[in-house]
A and B are shown apart, each in its own frame.
Chain A
C-alpha cells in the first residue's frame, strides 16, 4: 500500500520558520494537501493542490511538492500554530492516503 512518511515532531521558536516534510513514492506526480489539527479539534485544511490556501488560512502557511517530497512551511510561527499536521494525497491503488502526522511545538 502507498505510504506517506512525516517526521514525528518539529520544534520551532516563535517568529521562526517551521518546515514539515511528507515523503512518498513519486508524490510530486499527485496533488498534496495539508491539515492542521489542534488538540481535541477536527482537522482543518490549510493547503490544497500543493500550494493553495483556502479562504481564511493565514499567508504564513505555504506549500510545495516535487519529486518524492511535499513540504508545508509556516513562516513567522505563532503559538496558535502549535498542533498536529497531516499531509494527504491520492493514490490510484489505495485512494486517499494520509501521512503519519507531525506534532509542531512552538517553544
Chain B
C-alpha cells in the first residue's frame, strides 16, 4: 500500500521560501512509472495544482506559480520536495503531495503552512 507523508515548517515568514518534503513508502519513486505532484488548498477553498516531477527530474509547473516554484527528487531517500519562493499570506494553505496514477491517488494527509511574520 502506497503512502505519502508531507513534512516541513508550519510557519514561514513573508518573502521567505517555503520548503516541504514528501516521503513515499510502499513504492519506489525510482520505478519510473509515475509523476509525483504537489497540490494545495487554502482554508475553506478549493484545490490548486502546483506542479509535478518525474523520476528523471523532469518537471511541469502551474503557469500561475511557475516563476516561484522549484521541485526536486531524491531517489536515495524516496522523497520529492517543493520550494516556493517569495511567499505571501495568499500562500497560506494545506499542502498535499500525491502520486499521479490516472488521477491523483493516493494523497498524503496534508500539512498546514501559514505565512505570517
Contacts and interface: CB of A to CB of B under 8 A. Distances in A.
A36 to B, nearest CB: 11
Contacts of B37: 96
Given A42-B96, A42-B107, A42-B109, A48 B46 contact: no
Interface in A46-91: 47-49, 52, 54, 86, 88
A45 B62 contact: no
A93 interface: yes
Contact of A45 (B46, B48, B103, B108): B103
Contacts, number: 62
A42 B37 CA distance: 14
Task: State the majority secondary structure of interface residues on B.
Answer: strand
Contact of B47 (A1, A93, A94, A98): A98
Sorting the interface of chain B by its residue count into under 10, 10 to 19, 20 to 34 or 35 or more gives 20 to 34
A101 B42 CA distance: 13
A47 B104 CA distance: 10
A100 interface: yes
Given A42-B108, A86-B47, A95-B49, A48 B102 contact: yes
A88 B104 contact: yes
Contacts of B61: 95
Given A42-B107, A42-B110, A86-B47, A49 B102 contact: yes
A35 B46 contact: no
A96 to B, nearest CB: 4
Interface of A: 1, 33, 35, 42-45, 47-49, 52, 54, 86, 88, 93-101
Given A45-B104, A95-B52, A99-B46, 8 more contacts: A33-B104, A35-B103, A43-B96, A44-B107, A86-B46, A88-B103, A95-B63, A96-B49
30 contacts: A1-B63, A1-B64, A33-B102, A33-B103, A33-B104, A35-B47, A35-B103, A35-B104, A42-B96, A42-B109, A42-B110, A43-B107, A45-B103, A45-B106, A48-B103, A49-B103, A54-B105, A86-B46, A88-B47, A88-B103, A94-B62, A95-B52, A95-B62, A95-B63, A96-B37, A96-B52, A96-B62, A98-B46, A98-B47, A100-B46
